[in-house]
Structure 1
Amino acid sequence: MEVGWFDKPENSSGAIGARLSANAASVRGLVGDALAQIVQDLSSAIRGLFIAFTACWQLTFIILAMIPLASINGYVQMRFMKGFSADAKLMYEEASQKVMQLYRSKCEGPKKTGIKQGLISGTGFGILILILLYCMYAGSFYVGARFVQAGITHFTSVFRVSLL
């Protein structure tokens, strides 16, 4: 840098040292922890797939084909929780702007709506988990049982692959 750059107060040696310290901590937080988590997750997935393919490659392919269903399940869970809390938050914010008597009367509507929405979304959520998650497990164990019956794989291999 030019000599005049260091004459500015924001570029003094103390300010530069503080910025470097803060930036180093930020870079470490972004690269160190996040990178370590990514490497750990990736290595766990690779080891799990290796064990599954070694145990029974046919069943592993079937279960891998069902993974999008589990992803959809996670996405729907997230949307249910986010949508429910956002609606309730908006209603309570409106109610809290009123005086105490009006607050009590305003809370009756969100309370009834919340109970109704909770019952409806809970029922839908439960059915969705049943279909997407437990039916996926049941299907993989069913196919595994058929593979054991046909002599393609062993009982223990089915559990190694299914509990991937």
Structure 2
Amino acid sequence: MIALDCGDDFAIWRGQARQLLGHGIDPATVTWGQTWMDDLLAVPTPLPAGPGPFHARVPAALLAQLEQAGRYRGEQRWNLLYEVLWRVAHGDRTAMLAGDRLGSELQRRIRQGPLIPELVGQARHGKQRDGQALEIGRQQGKRIGAGGTDR
């Protein structure tokens, strides 16, 4: 298992992903986290040197989507992005579409961006701005009522 840390920086993640992809490293063998201890099975293995023999071309639209989804502050965000990139680079563009399992999660993270996890963290620590709940209430999206029931 290769354990990486991109420091919440899309540009760093992109460089790491490019190297991994170039060397044909499967997404199942890579994890991103704050430290390698985030994954008990991960051993801090360095990235392979150089660009690697595999050269893939991916749509510019995918890179824009990956960057937007990278703003989502949930768990496994970088892993999901690499898995989508891997599939598209290997000819499976359905990974970009909402009808696909990964594509659906990618699209959800693009819509939510950093908003939901950030707000949950603020609510836990009592750091919401005045009127912030009203602003969020006006935005489109799925609503969850009291007691976890959907509205």
TM-score normalised by the shorter chain: which range applies?
A: under 0.3
**What TM-score, normalized by structure 2, do the two folds share?**
0.23
Structure with a larger share of its residues in helix: 1
Larger Rg: 1
What TM-score do the two structures reach when normalised by structure 1?
0.22
Higher relative contact order (CA 8 A, sep 6+): 1
